[in-house]
Chains A and B, each alone.
Chain A
Amino acid sequence: MVTTIKESKSDRLFLVLNYVYLLLALIVVLYPLIYIISASVSSPKFVSSGEMWLFPKGLTFDGYKLVFDNPKIWIGYRNTIFYTLIGTMLNLVVTLPAAYALSRSDFVGRGLIMGMFLVTMFFSGGLIPTYLMVKNLGLINSIGALILPVSASVWNIIVARTFFHSTIPKELQEAAHVDGATNMRLFIRIVLPLSSPIIAVMALFYGVSHWNSYFPALIYLNDEMKYPLQMVLRQILVLQEMSAETTGAAISGDIAESMANKAEIASLVKYAVIIVSTLPVVAVYPFLQRYFVQGVMIGSVKG
């Protein structure tokens, strides 16, 4: 009894320290985020001069206006959501079964297959042969070019494999086999339901990479109507940041003037673009968090 009280005191201290630590982390990370939000609605002059340092100064919504006035933004959003959903589904279908198979120590040849995957982490043929491959498969200018070449990542397969290996008890597999379950049934009926944390993580990792991706769109898409959000935003930014310089293009007074006008709110747009592109993915995160607490279930199964 005495020991319990004593223990709980130190426990309380530990908890308090823990909260303090998290609170510190919160403040340190939060400040620049607030800064970005404020900067996206402050006069750029105050932002670059350092006069705006926490709350908006010289309130203006020109940055957002410019972003949302662009009709391509909404098409971009639609495309990105579509690519992200389809792409992530494909990723999960490719990654999870493979990772599970590789986690099984009774899977003959897993070393070989693992090795084959690992090699691709280091050695790649480069941009041109990959481009030619995509072209020869007839994928240019299609969603296929955006998601098939990134169907899986070795890194994620390894992470998922580690999860399966260390959290799915071996007894479970043996028990299932005793009951006459096939591997397929075992995987779909028992392993997957127990693995929601890793499924959530994989969906998040893959989903975010689709969401942020622009390079495949850049090289494989020709049709503006198919551009994902990131491409549209990049275009807006580039236009904004073009500066009147004498080299290369022939520039006359009015172009220089319009470029200068654009550059005026370039930084504003830069921050607005971050918010516009990030808000949806940040908003999704709290909903995913509940999948990270699943320990109870595994324990009960194990028992």
Chain B
Amino acid sequence: MKKSGRKVSGITRNATGESSLGRKMLKNWELYLFVTPAVLYFLIFHYGPMYGIQIAFKNFTPVKGITGSPWVGFDHFLRFFDSYYFWDLLWNTLSLSFYELAIGFPLPIILALAFNEIRNGAFKKTVQTVTYAPHFISMVVMAGMIITFLSPSSGMIVRMIEFFGIEAPAFLTDPRWFKTVYVLSGVWQSTGWGTIIYLAALAGVDPQLHEAAIMDGASRFKRVLNINLPTIIPTITILLILNMGNILGVGYEKVLLLQNPLNMESSDVISTFVYRSGLVSAQYSFSTAVGLFNSIVNALLLITVNKVAKRTSETSLW
């Protein structure tokens, strides 16, 4: 049975038609078993509650429940679009995200490639562990440190800049500096963590390729560029696509902690706006509507980028 099955798949590779498709499915019946737990999980815990999305179009009150609350159509969306700050919010969110992507995305790749070039030893272990550690620092402490380091009167970084006789900018209150502070501190915190995934992918590099390249007299740098990098390109592509799918998803916690009325014009993003609206009173419908707007924009971006990736490389999400 097994043997014949394999033969069939070999023969019918180019053929179409129900019977071969059916046989193909039958042959790989175990693969369906493999995905069953995951499918069940997504059905129960994600598709099950998904009816909750409708409250974006309703005036949700707890006692009437999700299905019983009255419909209001696009009211919540319009309220969001009509907000005095809508365009600012959109711009800030997008620019912050792209800024973060531009700086924060390539760095872990470079660092992972650099790690891969040195022998396993105490130094490698140390650097890897140290760069990984900041990932675990909570946002509150992170923001606290940023504020302390950048304090105009006593901050370490400010003093260092002034040591060189340069007047330090008002990092914390100048709207022009907010995004840089946000992105660079993020880089500090997550670059090491970001290398992990690439290190795993680099483990898949075929040593024979290196041996062959050395024979051909390729330099280390060339080999990194022509062997290591191409090996992790699929991972890079996938992560880039996934990142594009989260462009409007700038979280509120860190932004909120670094926000003040003076830098507000560049620091207010969609998520902090929703957070503030919720402070006045819990507005489930409104925040769901804004969330839905984000999701749709994100999904559209992801689909577009995936399409581009599909056309230009072999890797894509589907």
Is A274 a contact partner of B295 (Cβ separation < 8 A)? no
Do A33 and B234 have beta carbons less than 8 Å apart? no
**Is A200 among interface residues, defined by CB-CB distance under 8 A?**
yes
Q: How far is the CB of A259 from chain B (nearest CB, A)?
A: 18
A120 at interface by CB-CB < 8 Å: yes
Proximity bits, A141-161, B CB within 8 Å = 1, else 0: 000000011011001011100
B28 touches A107 (CB 8 A): yes
- Docked complex Cα distance between A132 and B65 (Å): 11
Given the interface pairs A94-B37, A151-B37, the reply to whether A22 lies near B114 with Cβ below 8 Å is yes
- Indicate whether B84 reaches chain A with its CB closer than 8 angstroms: no
- B19 close to A (CB within 8 Å): no
Rounded to whole Å, the gap between the CB of B45 and the closest CB of chain A is 5
Whether A183 lies near B28 (C-beta < 8 A) is yes
Given contacts A47-B148, A107-B28, contact A98 B50 (CB under 8 A): no
The answer on a CB contact under 8 Å between A295 and B207 is yes
Q: How far is the CA of A273 from the CA of B144 in the complex (A)?
A: 14
CB closest residue in chain A, given B140: A270
- Rounded to whole Å, the gap between the CB of A113 and the closest CB of chain B is 6
| Number of residues of chain A lying within 8 A (CB) of chain B | 112
How many Å from the CB of B17 to the closest CB on chain A? 13
The answer to whether B141 touches A126 (Cβ under 8 A) is: no
Contact bitstring A109-149, B, C-beta under 8 A = 1, else 0: 10101111110111111101110110001000000000011
Where chain A touches its partner, the secondary structure class is helix
Q: Determine whether the beta carbon of B45 is less than 8 Å from that of A130.
A: yes
Query: Which one, B164-172, B214-222, B261-269, is touching chain A?
Result: B214-222
* Closest A residue to B134 using CB positions: A29
| Per-position 1/0 for A5-26, Cβ under 8 A of B | 0010011001100110111011
Do the beta carbons of B136 and A277 come within 8 Å of each other?
Answer: yes
State in angstroms the CA–CA spacing of A149 and B41 once bound together. 8
Which parts of B163-208 form the interface with A (CB within 8 Å)?
Answer: 188, 191-192, 196-197, 199-208
Q: Is B279 an interface residue, CB under 8 A from the partner?
A: no
Query: Which residues of A (1-58) have their CB < 8 Å from a CB of B?
Result: 3-4, 7, 10-11, 14-15, 18-19, 21-23, 25-26, 28-30, 32-33, 35-36, 47-51, 53
Asked whether any CB of chain B lies closer than 8 Å to the CB of A222, the reply is no
B200 touches A18 (CB 8 A): no
Question: Which one of A67-75, A76-84, A278-286 is at the interface?
Answer: A278-286
Q: Mark B1-40, 1 if CB is under 8 A from A, else 0.
A: 0110110010000000000010011001011111101110
**Residue among A50, A137, A281 facing the most chain B CB atoms (10 A cut-off):** A50
- Residues of chain A within 8 A of B128, CB atoms compared: 285-286, 289
Interfacial chain A residues near B120, Cβ < 8 Å: 289-290, 293
Q: Which of A36, A94, A123 contacts B50, CB < 8 Å?
A: A123
Q: Smallest distance from the beta carbon of B23 to chain A beta carbons, Å? A: 10
Sample of 20 A–B contacts (CB below 8 Å) = A15-B118, A18-B114, A18-B117, A25-B111, A29-B134, A32-B149, A36-B141, A48-B148, A50-B151, A93-B37, A106-B9, A118-B317, A126-B49, A129-B48, A133-B44, A151-B37, A158-B242, A162-B234, A162-B235, A281-B136
A residues with CB within 8 A of B = 3-4, 7, 10-11, 14-15, 18-19, 21-23, 25-26, 28-30, 32-33, 35-36, 47-51, 53, 93-95, 97-98, 100-102, 104, 106-109, 111, 113-118, 120-126, 128-130, 132-133, 137, 148-149, 151-152, 155, 157-159, 162-163, 165-167, 174, 177-178, 180, 182-184, 187, 197-198, 200-201, 204-205, 208, 212, 237, 267, 270-271, 273-274, 277-278, 281-282, 285-286, 289-290, 292-296, 298-299, 302-303
Contacts from B to A (Cβ < 8 Å): 2-3, 5-6, 9, 21, 24-25, 28, 30-35, 37-39, 41-42, 44-53, 55, 62, 66, 111, 114-115, 117-118, 120, 123, 125-138, 140-141, 144-145, 148-149, 151, 153-156, 159, 188, 191-192, 196-197, 199-208, 217-221, 231, 234-235, 238-239, 242, 245, 284, 288, 291-292, 295-296, 298-299, 302, 315, 317-318
- Top 3 nearest A-B pairs (CB, nearest first) are A50-B154, A125-B52, A125-B49
